[in-house]
């Protein structure tokens, strides 16, 4: 399978992406020592790329806008559909509404209410399915019970090129960046960013971030082939970490990353709290996963950008996590 994801396709994607997406800021996050004072590593400077500030609260609008804008009038008239844990669904729903196309989304039955409500507000019809059915649909690129044109949530060159505009922005905002860390689910975010960043800065380090409960890319890199992750578990980190790396994405991901940094759920919870208290930003589990990886020290030193990919999390869940991770003050 020949892929067409280049610096040119990413730059061209901007015409569609910026009709509905916005350029997001970088905010510096200073690593703290355990006592909360000073810099834990003076050689490390972490910046947050805040995709939480997109209209739908995640980066997915970029790829969705580029993929939907490329469809013919006939395809749009027949409608579009996608499968998602929630964020890609919102992206495709908004892009479809902007193009006056009917939209249906297959959503994992564990998707949080925050994401379901947002999808409904955007006018899309929701069809719930088990994780296994959703993942099977992603692998096979089809589902007989859903009509219209399938907009794949990550394994699509147009979608990936749209995501790559994040890489362009990072290099414009911080030309001397040494490393970029992004969470990986299907791999469309990481592949797009890596294609742009390596074209503009060949020596840059690119790291994936995965939760300990779902780290198929780390397993695949260790095995040298697309692999399943043994012992997969669902968690509050619902936007990244699948059961496997799909075969068609493996060559892109293999060449895109220097390594995959696997972090614990506790590290992700602490990162959610750090982003909330240090940057006044709400990050969902997948978004905080990249921050946790950057804070772990395993992305090396220098200037590091962690892509906070989304902020769509139920308020009750977020409040519980922040409360759980609050430091205890001794008398």
Gyration radius from the chain CA atoms: 19
Of 102, 125, 157, which marks where a domain is finished? Answer: 157
Altogether, the residues listed in the chain come to a count of 331
Burial class of residue 106 (count of CB atoms within 10 Å of its CB; 0-12, 13-18, 19+): buried
Dump strand ranges (E) for the chain. 26-29, 44-50, 80-84, 103-108, 125-129, 149-150, 179-183, 205-211, 259-263, 302-308
The number of distinct structural domains making up the chain is 2
Give the mean model confidence (pLDDT) for residues 86-114. Answer: 91
Torsion from C-alpha of 123, 127, 132, 136, nearest 10 degrees: -70
Q: Answer whether 207's CB lies under 8 Å from 194's CB.
A: no
Q: Tokens at residue 9, please?
A: 């396709």
Percent pLDDT > 70 in the chain is 94
In a shared domain, residues 100 and 51: no
In a shared domain, residues 173 and 44: yes
Per-residue confidence (pLDDT) for residue 159, from 0 to 100 = 98
What is the value of pTM for the model shown?
0.93
Please give the order of strands across the beta sheet that includes 125-129: 125-129, 103-108, 80-84, 149-150
Confidence of residue 170 (pLDDT cuts 50, 70, 90): very high
Residue 89 lies in a domain: yes
Per-residue confidence (pLDDT) for residue 325, from 0 to 100 = 75
pLDDT digits (tens, 9 = 90+) for 264-320: 999 999 999 999 998 999 999 999 999 999 999 999 989 999 999 999 998 899 999
Backbone phi and psi for residue 157, each to the nearest 5 degrees, phi listed first: -60, -35
Per-residue confidence (pLDDT) for residue 36, from 0 to 100 = 43
Per-residue confidence (pLDDT) for residue 30, from 0 to 100 = 66
Structural domain containing residue 73: 60-157
DSSP 328: P
Mean pLDDT of the chain: 92
Per-residue confidence (pLDDT) for residue 145, from 0 to 100 = 87
pLDDT digits (tens, 9 = 90+) for 42-78: 457 999 999 999 999 999 999 999 999 999 999 999 9
In a shared domain, residues 71 and 184: no
Rounded CA-CA distance 316/263 in Å is 23
pLDDT digits (tens, 9 = 90+) for 135-150: 899 999 999 889 899 9
């Amino acid at each position: 399978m020949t892929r067409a994801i280049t610096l040119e396709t990413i730059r061209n994607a901007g015409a569609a992406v910026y009709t509905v997406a916005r350029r997001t800021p970088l905010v510096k996050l200073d690593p703290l020592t355990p006592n909360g004072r000073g810099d834990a590593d003076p050689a490390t400077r972490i910046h947050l790329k805040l995709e939480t500030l997109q209209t739908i609260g995640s980066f997915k609008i970029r790829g969705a806008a580029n993929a939907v804008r490329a469809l013919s009038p006939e395809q749009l008239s027949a409608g579009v559909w996608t499968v998602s844990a929630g964020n890609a669904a919102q992206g495709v729903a908004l892009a479809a509404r902007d193009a006056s196309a009917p939209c249906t989304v297959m959503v994992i039955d564990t998707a949080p209410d925050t994401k379901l409500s947002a999808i409904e507000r955007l006018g899309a019809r929701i069809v719930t399915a088990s994780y296994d059915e959703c993942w099977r649909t992603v692998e096979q690129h089809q589902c007989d019970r859903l009509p219209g044109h399938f907009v794949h949530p990550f394994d699509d060159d147009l979608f990936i090129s749209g995501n790559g505009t994040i890489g362009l922005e990072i290099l414009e905002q911080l030309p001397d960046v040494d490393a970029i860390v992004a969470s990986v689910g299907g791999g469309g975010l990481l592949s797009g960013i890596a294609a742009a960043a390596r074209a503009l800065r060949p020596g840059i380090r690119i790291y994936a971030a995965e939760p300990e409960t779902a780290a198929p890319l780390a397993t695949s890199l260790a095995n040298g082939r697309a692999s399943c992750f043994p012992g997969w578990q669902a968690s509050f980190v619902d936007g990244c970490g699948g059961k496997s790396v799909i075969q068609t994405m493996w060559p892109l991901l293999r060449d895109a990353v220097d390594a995959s940094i696997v972090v614990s759920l506790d590290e992700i919870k602490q990162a959610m709290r750090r982003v909330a208290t240090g940057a006044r930003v709400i990050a969902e589990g997948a978004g905080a996963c990249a921050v946790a990886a950057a804070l772990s020290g395993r992305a090396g030193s220098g200037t590091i950008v962690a892509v906070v990919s989304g902020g769509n999390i139920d308020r009750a869940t977020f409040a519980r996590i922040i409360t759980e991770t609050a430091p205890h003050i001794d008398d």
